[in-house]
Chains A and B, each alone.
Chain A
Amino acid sequence: MASVSNNYYEGVDAVSPMYEGEEKKDQDRAVWFPVSQTACVCDGVTSSPCAEEAAELVTKFSPALFSGDVEQSMKVISDLLVVLRTEKLHSEVNLVANMPVKMREILQETAREKARYSYQTTLVAAKFVLEDTMVVSSMVWCGDSVFLAFDSKGQLLASSPAGSERSKCAVMKTNNDLSSAKHSGNITFGPGE
């Protein structure tokens, strides 16, 4: 969440976890970078191992998305997540002691299968530039996270571009699939709109 002050945005960071009964979920990240005036929300995919690491990495990387070629930057972070996934696929998994040999084999195989879907998160990131009465925003999103801008009365000013595809495909999926990634041109909004 961010609000405008002295022609400058101020932001609030939010970090999970949340609890559902005994189950802890801690894979959501929301970060505001005041100097670069960028914001990012990553929503790690629950069923994906290491989703919290993915969300953490992508949010930290997000200001770099706007410093050059966006598609190239997206590919860099995606490649990193794929490398981490590959490492995970080839790493031994720790199991409880005294587990029978057959069960260990089954669980190692199960863990490898799950690792194929590791490091998945959605992403929505935006960079803001304040002009006299307008805000110019550039944004990147992938998966089903969205960007919404409201005025102080709660009126919606802008959102991820109309007709945006709210794909269920998470960012950085298997095989570097960035097909659902979107990058907007500049979007403007502000008082009076």
Chain B
Amino acid sequence: MNHGEKISRAEPGLIVFIVDDSGSKADPLPGTSDPKYQWVERFIGVILRELLAKSTELKGDTAKIKPWYYIYIIIYGSKPQVWAAGQMDIQAAVEKYADDGNSLCLGGKSGGTDAAAAFQKAYEYLKEAVKDEHFRTSFPPMVFHLTDGMSATDATPIAEQIKQLSTEDGNVLIVNAYIGTETNLNYRGPEDFPGYVDVSEVGPNEDNVRLFNMSSEAPACIRQNLIDDGIFPNIRERSRLFSDVRTKDMLKHVIQVVGSLGSRAERTTR
């Protein structure tokens, strides 16, 4: 139970996105004129392509995709909905995204914000997935929740249940990204983002505190991958997988956290 497995075809990674598509997602992302949901779609598209690239092997003149990653996306407002066919391997997910015009069909038209219902949906799926032969021995799944806050419901209890789920390699991880909030942490951008270690750093905002407490502590290998990949090169030990999103650059980096899934312990041994 040490979050030590590498991602491979035999032990693929599973990423569950929980994407808030409530009405406020139609508002512009701070510092831009495009709505938040469009930036979210773009950057999820970027990470899907990156995961596809990681899964693509070039041997001689032949490119072959190995199903190293599986994706499951829940889009929610007042009600949660599962994107496309539910669990898809990375190739199927990229194909669907491309077929839909590089879109997840978001639009900030899903009404209110019921985060608890979305997490419940994720729990129902994950409690079976972690027992599935695909993922039973894999690096544990990562649940990536992206919101601009103000949920009408508290997802904390169900998030705690999700964190108790595990594969043979450790407990499921929860990542929270909060668009547009303010915190007590002073940093300029991804390059000096130190991560949140203590609840006092997130400030008095109740949503901040709630999302911080829901978030898993970054396992050592995830932290190292974030540093090595230049996503958050200054992230501290024991940081929670919680980020506030102040700029589009930060949003891009926050979404790229899912690419840190898995140990790379043998990276330097070739």
Contacts and interface: CB of A to CB of B under 8 A. Distances in A.
A153 to B, nearest CB: 27
B58 A106 contact: no
B62 A114 contact: no
B10 A22 contact: yes
Interface in B65-115: 65, 91, 94-95, 98-99
B9 interface: yes
Given A20-B8, A102-B99, A103-B94, 14 more contacts: A21-B9, A22-B8, A22-B9, A23-B8, A27-B270, A43-B270, A45-B270, A93-B63, A100-B99, A102-B95, A107-B63, A110-B52, A111-B56, A168-B268
B98 A102 contact: yes
Interface in A75-125: 91-96, 100, 102-103, 106-108, 110-111, 113-115, 118, 122
B246 interface: no
B188 interface: no
B266 to A, nearest CB: 8
Nearest to A109: B49
A28 B270 CA distance: 9
A49 interface: yes
A63 interface: no
B117 to A, nearest CB: 33
The contact size tier of chain B is 20 to 34
Interface of A: 20-23, 27-28, 43-46, 49-50, 91-96, 100, 102-103, 106-108, 110-111, 113-115, 118, 122, 144, 168
Nearest to B10: A21
Interface of B is mostly: mixed
6 contacts: A23-B8, A45-B270, A50-B58, A91-B61, A107-B65, A110-B63
Interface of B: 8-11, 49, 52-53, 56-59, 61-65, 91, 94-95, 98-99, 267-268, 270
Nearest to A170: B270
Contact of A106 (B11, B94, B267): B94
A45 B57 CA distance: 13
Of B10, B52, B63, which is in contact with the most chain A CB atoms at under 10 Å from its CB? Answer: B63
Given A102-B98, A106-B52, A168-B268, A115 B58 contact: yes
Given A27-B270, A103-B98, A114 B61 contact: no
Contacts of B64: 96
Contacts of B65: 107
Contacts of B53: 110, 113-114
Contacts of B98: 102-103, 106
Contacts of A44: 270
Contact of A93 (B8, B62, B95, B268): B62
A107 B216 CA distance: 34
B8 A21 contact: yes
B58 A93 contact: yes
Nearest to A143: B270
A94 B10 contact: no
Given A103-B91, A106-B98, A111 B8 contact: no
Contacts of B52: 106-107, 110
Contacts of A50: 58
A114 B94 CA distance: 18
A49 B61 contact: no
Contact of A100 (B8, B61, B63, B95): B95
Nearest to A105: B98
A183 B58 CA distance: 33
A107 B66 CA distance: 12
Contacts of A103: 91, 94-95, 98
A133 B63 CA distance: 54
A117 B173 CA distance: 32
Given A21-B10, A28-B270, A103-B91, A94 B49 contact: no
Contacts of B8: 20-23
A100 B65 CA distance: 14
Nearest to A23: B8
Contacts of B10: 21-23
Given A28-B270, A102-B95, A103-B94, A23 B63 contact: no
